[in-house]
């Protein structure tokens, strides 16, 4: 159930807000409305998208998750998983929404001890611990903090963590990822269309896609535009193609290793001299 919240005038000029795109700013406000009185909310991307942008059909769920990641990055909002469900929590809620804040009584789980997730990928990136919270509070209250960030209200003097306390992304690599020219991966790269040339109607970057008409505008001046949305979709399609190509190459490498009688599970074989070398998976080994 959405609720009425207080947004102060200073919100719009606060550094953390001006660092975000206009779409992310609107999303951040909507997250305050969507949260309960302890600053926690359910995080079902499609549901929150429908609440935030009910009449903007051009925004895809993937694009919406990108906006959530932007809010997390700039405003230190916690996204987490508990018992297979996803939630978010606004750390500064009790301090800055005193009119609405409650210190207990939420029906949603506390983020403490839960798995933190990247809202863009929905993957676990760490565990939310007391040390992380203490560090965030310390950074917000430090007089010599590097930049002033307002987490939700626009009050000057409140400091946020930005990216300082974010866990680093650690992506698992295939066990045979270091193979060089020994499996079909070396012959198939780029064959899926993942490296297709960018069409003339796509401008900007994957993080800031544009149509030709809006190419030179400041990010905050770009209006809602179907052609810009098409450019965003083109970049997303390229990313998906890269992911699929990577999966295909990984599967080919794994199959080559599994079907080879000469190497171990990591794609290494022993030479007559007793040393290990990368296997080329050919029938007659020397």
Q: Domains, the chain, ranges and CATH?
A: 9-116 (1.10.10), 203-278 (no CATH)
40 token code pair: 């926690």
Tens digit of pLDDT for each residue in 36-81?
Answer: 988 999 999 999 999 999 888 888 899 999 999 999 999 899 999 9
Which residue carries 């009910």 as its tokens?
Answer: 54
Q: Is 100 exposed, middle or buried (0-12, 13-18, 19+ CB in 10 A)?
A: middle
In contact, 268 and 277? CB cutoff 8 Å: yes
3-state secondary structure 4-55: CCCCCHHHHHCHHHHCCCHHHHHHHHHHHHHCCCCCEEECCHHHHHHHHCCC
Tens digit of pLDDT for each residue in 131-151?
Answer: 354 444 444 444 333 333 334
Name the band, by pLDDT with cuts 50, 70 and 90, for residue 154: very low
Q: What angle do CA 56, 153, 135 make, to 5 degrees?
A: 110
Give the span between the Cα atoms of 91 and 125, in whole angstroms: 18
Name the band, by pLDDT with cuts 50, 70 and 90, for residue 161: very low
**Whether pTM exceeds 0.75:** no
Res. 179: pLDDT tops 70? no
**Alpha carbon 60 to chain centroid, angstroms:** 15
Which residue carries 């190497």 as its tokens?
Answer: 263
Q: How far is CA 23 from CA 17, 59, 139, 216, in A?
A: 11, 10, 27, 18
Kind and range of the H or E run holding 199 = none
According to DSSP, the β-strands at 123-127 and 203-205 are unpaired
């Amino acid at each position: 159930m959405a609720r009425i919240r207080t947004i102060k005038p200073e919100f719009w000029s606060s550094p953390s807000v001006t660092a975000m795109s206009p779409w992310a700013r609107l999303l951040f406000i909507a997250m305050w409305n969507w949260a309960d009185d302890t600053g926690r909310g359910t995080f079902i991307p499609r549901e929150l998208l429908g609440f935030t942008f009910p009449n903007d059909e051009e925004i895809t769920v993937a694009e919406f998750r990108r906006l959530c990641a932007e809010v997390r990055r700039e405003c230190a909002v916690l996204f987490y998983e508990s018992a297979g469900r996803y939630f978010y929590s606004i750390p500064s809620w009790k301090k800055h929404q005193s009119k609405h804040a409650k210190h207990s009584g939420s029906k949603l789980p506390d983020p403490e001890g839960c798995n933190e997730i990247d809202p863009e990928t929905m993957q676990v990136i760490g565990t939310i611990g007391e040390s992380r919270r203490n560090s965030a509070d310390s950074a917000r209250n430090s007089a010599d903090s590097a930049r002033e960030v307002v987490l939700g209200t626009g009050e000057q003097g409140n400091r946020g963590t930005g990216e300082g306390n974010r866990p680093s992304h650690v992506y698992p690599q295939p066990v045979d990822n270091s193979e060089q020219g020994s499996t079909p991966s070396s012959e198939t790269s780029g064959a899926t269309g993942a490296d297709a040339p960018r069409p003339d109607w796509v401008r900007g970057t994957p993080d800031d896609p544009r149509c030709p008409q809006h190419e030179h505008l400041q990010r905050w001046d770009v209006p809602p535009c179907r052609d810009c949305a098409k450019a965003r979709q083109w970049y997303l399609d390229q990313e998906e193609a890269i992911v699929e190509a990577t999966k295909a190459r990984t599967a080919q490498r794994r199959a080559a290793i599994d079907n080879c009688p000469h190497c171990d599970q990591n794609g290494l074989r022993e030479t007559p001299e007793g040393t290990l070398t990368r296997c080329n998976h050919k029938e007659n080994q020397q």
